[in-house]
Amino acid sequence: MRITEISTVVLRLPVVLAIGDGTQDVLIVVVHTDEGVTGVGEVHTSPTVAEAVIHAPVSHVRSRGLASVLVGQDPLDTEACWQRMYEATEVYGRRGVVMHAISGVDLALWDLRGKVEGRSVAELLGGRQHRQLAAYASVLMPDTVDEARQLARDCAAQGFAAVKYGWGGLGAGIEQAVQLVAAVREEAGDGEVMIDIGAGLDVEQALRLAEAFEPYDLTFLEEPLHPDDLAGFRRLAEASPIPIATGEKETSLAGFTTLIEQGRPDIVQPDLARAGGFTEVERIWHRARDHDVRVIPHCWSTDVLVAATMQFLASRPEPVMLEFCLEDNPIRREVAVESLWAVDGYVTVDDRPGLGITLNPRTLRELGVSFSGPAQDVIAAATR
Ligand SMILES: [Mg+2]
């Protein structure tokens, strides 16, 4: 079996705002083969930039588009395909958007391999250890205390025993942030509460914030510093009364190794559609475990990423936590035909081959703004 083509679709909501919500657009990737089997993945980044990484023509032996080095290769050799992509982009890649694009292709290759072998990706990754995954609700923090209380009640009504509030109202200063956190903690009762700052505070501000949050029994405090402030993370993780989580913007084993060794966070959060796909995040997981660092993947996108994260977590031997984004728009909810919604705070992992999902042709048609070929042909081939 050989790869014949990599097709892509950029999906975009009619209105995209500069807010902390990564479900407003996405790049869908489909790997095609000469035997008609396809694999599906997604890239969670600026989709137009990633699209160029996949389709760029050769400009140097170590500066090539991903599709150009994969066509003709054996799609079932996921490791060889990953190395080929990594080496072919050494000049302009190794991190950032190139690793994001590699991730999407890698997810599609594992999906394809699962379909060929008739096994779920969790089985390919060593075996399914969990049928049910505990999901934590992941929501944007509202601007007012009343709205935050209502949101906490809504999450509890949907059965979530753990909720992460991020960005939004948390950016309006320490005093306001503490009031919001106190309100959601009171509503949550015994439930778990996590806070995602998602902003580049300096380490002194972050320490003051962590100390101010101490009475509210947070499971972790996420990304209070700029991702490159590794010295700051190290100081913060040593002094903070709350465990520190970060890594959703980090990519590759090399990047995570530096983060873990220099920043010393308690928890790292690789995103399967950014950090290097199943192939690289498997390595990141082992590196983190070697350093006693917990891994809770970042997951705030379509059901393609939810399915991929579910398969990855289902294959872990230890207790796991699935980030479950409650945004409700067609990119978050309708890219796949299947609904992977959480019930009473749990999602169920099934044994269908690959990622276990099928792309929804209507969503591709209605929200597709850029296709790698004639739209109707790309959609037909992607949803076969
Ligand atoms: Mg975050």
Tens digits of residue pLDDT in 30-54:
999 999 999 999 999 999 999 999 9
Q: Average per-residue pLDDT in the chain?
A: 96
Bridge partner residues of 41 (DSSP): 29
Distance CA 295, CA 48 (A): 29
Which band of pLDDT confidence, cut at 50, 70 and 90, is reported for residue 384? confident
CA 16 / ligand 1 centre spacing (Å): 19
Distance CA 44, CA 167 (A): 18
Select which of 32, 100, 130, 298 is catalytic.
298
CA 339 / ligand 1 centre spacing (Å): 23
Which band of pLDDT confidence, cut at 50, 70 and 90, is reported for residue 212? very high
What values do phi and psi take at 347, rounded to 5?
A: -115, 150
Helix (H, G, I), strand (E, B) or coil at 87: helix
Reply yes or no on whether 298 is catalytic: yes
Helices (H), the chain: 47-55, 66-70, 78-88, 96-117, 121-124, 145-157, 174-188, 203-213, 230-239, 252-258, 277-290, 303-314, 330-333, 361-367, 375-382
Q: What is the pLDDT of residues 280-290, one digit of tens each?
A: 999 999 999 99
CA 57 / ligand 1 centre spacing (Å): 34
Helices (H), 61-196: 66-70, 78-88, 96-117, 121-124, 145-157, 174-188
CA 131 / ligand 1 centre spacing (Å): 26
CA 171 / ligand 1 centre spacing (Å): 13
Q: What is the pLDDT of residues 233-248, one digit of tens each?
A: 999 999 999 999 999 9
**DSSP tag of 56:** P
Instruction: Give residue 261's pLDDT.
Output: 98
Instruction: Give residue 350's pLDDT.
Output: 85
List domains and CATH numbers for the chain.
Answer: 3-118+358-382 (3.30.390.10), 123-348 (3.20.20.120)
Bridge partner residues of 10 (DSSP): 27, 370
Q: Let me know how many helices (H) and strands (E) the chain has, helices first.
A: 15, 13
Please identify which residue in the block is written with the tokens 């949050």: 213
Instruction: Give residue 171's pLDDT.
Output: 86
CA 302 / ligand 1 centre spacing (Å): 16
Distance CA 64, CA 53 (A): 8
Give yes or no for a contact between 229 and 205, defined as CB atoms under 8 angstroms apart: no
SS3 content of the chain, % helix, strand, coil (to 5): 45, 20, 35
DSSP assignment of 283-302, as one string? Answer: HHHHHHHHTT-EE--B--S-
Q: What is the pLDDT of residues 247-291, one digit of tens each?
A: 999 999 999 999 999 999 999 999 999 999 999 999 999 999 999
Question: 294 pLDDT exceeds 80?
Answer: yes
Q: What is the pLDDT of residues 63-103, one digit of tens each?
A: 999 999 999 999 999 999 999 999 999 999 999 999 999 99
Instruction: Give residue 20's pLDDT.
Output: 84
CA 344 / ligand 1 centre spacing (Å): 23
Instruction: Give residue 73's pLDDT.
Output: 98
CA 357 / ligand 1 centre spacing (Å): 25
Closest CA to 295 of 326, 342, 325, 259: 259
Please state the rounded mean pLDDT for residues 104-127. 98
Instruction: Give residue 24's pLDDT.
Output: 97
CA 209 / ligand 1 centre spacing (Å): 17
Instruction: Give residue 333's pLDDT.
Output: 96
Which band of pLDDT confidence, cut at 50, 70 and 90, is reported for residue 339? confident
Which band of pLDDT confidence, cut at 50, 70 and 90, is reported for residue 111? very high
Question: 199 pLDDT exceeds 80?
Answer: no
pTM of the model: 0.97
CA 9 / ligand 1 centre spacing (Å): 25
Give yes or no for a contact between 130 and 106, defined as CB atoms under 8 angstroms apart: no
Q: What is the pLDDT of residues 2-35, one digit of tens each?
A: 999 999 999 999 999 998 889 999 999 999 999 9
